[in-house]
Structure 1
Amino acid sequence: MALFKQHSMYESDHTKFIKELKARTPGMDERQQAGRALLWDKAPITLEEQRRIAESRIRQQAYPYQTKV
């Protein structure tokens, strides 16, 4: 435990850089959240849409390059 107390005030260069960047750029957190929402946060799919998507899937062959004769 003495090791943690000794280095509890240590801050890496990366952490300092991020803190300075956020201090210099107001609104950065909001833009990050908006970008995340644009790419990753999706609206929930209704049960009807789930059923339609499942029915429209075409099953692929186990080996797609084999021709059916």
Structure 2
Amino acid sequence: MYKSEITEFLSELKETHPELDQQQQRGRALLWDKKPLDLAQRAEDTHARVKQTPYVYYQNI
């Protein structure tokens, strides 16, 4: 069965460094896996936000 050079390289890399899978999972959890949003807290945050004027550079005219 044919294996590309990239596939062979990745297979060899994972064999020599078995900790890579755990490091990848930790990195993904750090950057991408987020907790579910609390909709009540989000609504409160949105309501408490100060409104901004449409063109902020000329507020005193």
The TM-score, its normalising length taken from structure 1, stands at 0.65
What are the ranges of 5 or more consecutive residues in structure 2 without an aligned counterpart? none
Q: 1:13 to 1:42 in 2, by over 3 A?
A: same
* 1:22 maps onto 2:19 in alignment: no
1:65 & 1:59 partners in 2: Cα distance?
A: 7
> Which digits, 9 at most, give the CA deviation of each residue in 1:19-62, with x for residues without a partner?
0000000121111000000011111121222212332274673x
Runs of 4+ in structure 1 off by over 2 angstroms are 52-61, 64-69
Percent of residue pairs bearing the same amino acid type: 37
Deviation at 1:18, TM superposition (A): 0.4
2:26 is matched with which residue? Answer: 34
**Count, aligned residues:** 59
Candidates 21, 24, 45, aligned match of 1:53: 45
Q: Counting helix residues as a fraction of each chain, which structure ranks higher? A: 2
Please provide the CA RMSD for this pair: 2.1
Question: Could you tell me how far apart the structure 2 residues matched to 1:18 and 1:29 are?
Answer: 12
Give TM-score scaled by structure 2 length.
0.72
